[in-house]
Amino acid sequence: MSQDANKLQPISRRSFLKSSVVAAGTSSLLAKTLSAETTDGKKPLMAYVGTFSAPLKDMLPTQVDLPPGNGRGIHLFQVDRQTGALAEAGVVEMGTSPSCLAVSADGTRMYSANETDHVGKTKEGTVSSFSINPSDGKLTLLNTVPSGGAGPTYVSIHPSGRYLFVANYFGGSVAVLPIQEDGQLGKATDVKVDSGKIGPTRATNAPRGSFAFSGHDRTHAHMIQSDPSGRYVLHVDLGLDLIYVWKFDEKTGRLTPNDTATVSLPPGDGPRHFHFHPNGKWFYSIQEEGSTIVFFDYDSKSGTLSERQTISTLPPEFAGSNFCSEILVSSDGKFVYAGNRLHDSIGIFAVGPDGKLSFTGEEWTRGNYPRSFSFDPTGRFLYCCNQRADSVAVFKVNRKTGGLKFTGQYVPVGNPSHLVFVDLQSS
């Protein structure tokens, strides 16, 4: 999470939102009406940007990656399918920092991790569910439930579509929430709290001269996701330098430790996110403080990981502090992309025939502190959420080389955190 990263790099002055926004659970009208079809006869392709937003009066400020509060909730955009341009289409105003979004496979439901320390006197965050209007992309709140811990930072959906997984960063816990037939979330069927020895404040693989320190003060569950089969669920704890592997019972919605329950990363490196290769056999983990990608073979029958390679996310000559963020594998499996905050770049890696990575280049993110990035449904464009620059930058993807070319398009969004797409044409 890099709470102390602002000590390493001065934060430019920004005007904070002075008025409280509507409570989570209230959907605002769209700023402008969307037509049911675009000029080419297709229904809109929609983009939704989760942000760090201004807190309500009964909440503490969001304790994540200062400065908080410039966003207004979930920001909606209509996407130009040819150029990748985003046109503002409204905001669902929320004061609970919906920093991570997940969309159901059929594009009819959306879920947000509302990344707060607490709401009122309850030391726990929340998760919200929304329905998506198939004609214009509007969101309608269905319900909001406790997340099973403080600071929910990540949500993902089980392949069955029946469960939502939540990683609570400040609570150091993960939770399983059932998804009901109407899309609403039920009470957690399971909550697991991480425990163990906290890693050192200096990463084993830190770049030369690095003072990067973020999550090695306590347990910090940072991401949770099922494997492609749905039989196993993996989650990472940044403070413990561990990848957890769970067996998942789809009937009960409960997690039990796998035969090999954890995999250790180098002390202090801080696993943050991971991504499976499309073949389901290769697994890539990015370390926030170590600035590395670790490549594993994944055995889907046993749910076991076998380490094969460690490679830096940074160019060889780099020295100083950096915090990694996102990692994505291209849909064709040919390239891996890694986010670098402070260095403010996306590292580009070619995937070899054996799954190993080779560094092929990097692209400046055109903004400060790239928290995450996402491909559009075609894989032709990449959208980077530059959190501290209050903007999303749009890049054209070279599908042959993996290279990124800035389109010149900056989209203003306060403290953007995560971006997802919904193709209304196919929903």
The whole-chain average pLDDT of the chain stands at 90
Higher pLDDT, 183 or 426: 183
At 30 the pLDDT is: 39
Of 201, 18, 220, give the one whose Cα is nearest residue 115: 220
At 65 the pLDDT is: 53
Q: What is the pLDDT of residues 386-397, one digit of tens each?
A: 999 999 999 999
Q: Which two tokens stand for residue 114?
A: 């509302």
Number of Cβ atoms within 10 Å of the Cβ of 61: 16
At 252 the pLDDT is: 98
Confidence of residue 69 (pLDDT cuts 50, 70, 90): confident
Structural domains for the chain: 143-410 (2.130.10.10)
Three-class SS of residue 396?
strand
pLDDT at 174 over 50: yes
Strands (E), 45-171: 45-51, 73-79, 86-93, 98-103, 109-114, 126-132, 139-146, 152-157, 163-168
